[in-house]
C-alpha cells in the first residue's frame, strides 16, 4: 500500500464519519464508489439504535479527542489489512469521545486507474 493509497483511505473514512455525524445516511454512497451494504434504512436503524441504546446523540467526526479508559490510541486510528488485490480499512466508531461497539469496514481494490472505494459494513466489535 502506498502513502497515497493510505491518504485516500483516511479521507474516505473522514468523509463517511462526517456524513454519519450529521445523520445524513442517504449520502453515504457519495463517499465511496460502491455500497456493498446499501440498505440505507437498515444502516440507519443499526446506527441510530446503537447510539440510542448507549445514550449518545451522534457519532464523532474523525480526529475528535478520545476519552478511552484506559487510553487505547490504536482504536482511534484507521487500521489497515492488506490483501493481494487491495486492502481493508477499519475504524472504531466513537461518540462523545467514548468508544462504541461498532466498527466501520471499508474495502479498497487496486485498479489500473486508482483505488475502488467500497463501503462494506458497520459491524459489532467483539
Q: What is the pLDDT of residues 5-45, one digit of tens each?
A: 999 999 999 999 999 999 999 999 999 999 999 899 999 99
Task: List all residues 6 or more positions away from 96 whose beta carbon is below 8 Å from its beta carbon.
Answer: 56, 57, 60, 67
- Round to whole Å and give the CA distance between 11 and 17: 10
Grid cell in block for residue 39: 440498505
Q: Which of 95, 98, 97, 101 is nearest to 122 (CA)?
A: 101
Per-residue pLDDT, 67: 64
Global pTM reads 0.89
pLDDT band at 68 (very low <50, low <70, confident <90, very high): low
pLDDT for residue 7: 96
Amino acid at each position: 500500500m502506498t502513502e497515497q493509497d493510505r491518504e485516500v483511505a483516511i479521507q474516505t473514512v473522514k468523509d463517511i464519519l462526517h456524513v454519519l455525524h450529521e445523520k445524513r445516511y442517504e449520502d453515504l454512497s457519495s463517499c465511496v464508489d460502491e455500497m456493498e451494504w446499501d440498505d440505507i434504512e437498515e444502516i440507519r436503524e443499526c446506527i441510530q439504535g446503537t447510539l440510542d441504546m448507549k445514550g449518545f446523540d451522534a457519532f464523532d467526526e474523525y480526529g475528535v479527542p478520545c476519552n478511552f479508559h484506559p487510553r487505547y490510541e490504536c482504536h482511534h486510528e484507521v487500521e489497515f489489512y492488506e490483501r493481494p488485490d487491495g486492502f481493508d480499512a477499519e475504524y472504531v466508531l466513537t461518540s462523545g469521545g467514548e468508544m462504541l461497539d461498532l466498527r466501520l469496514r471499508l474495502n479498497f481494490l487496486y485498479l489500473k486507474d486508482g483505488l475502488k472505494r467500497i463501503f462494506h459494513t458497520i459491524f459489532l466489535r467483539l
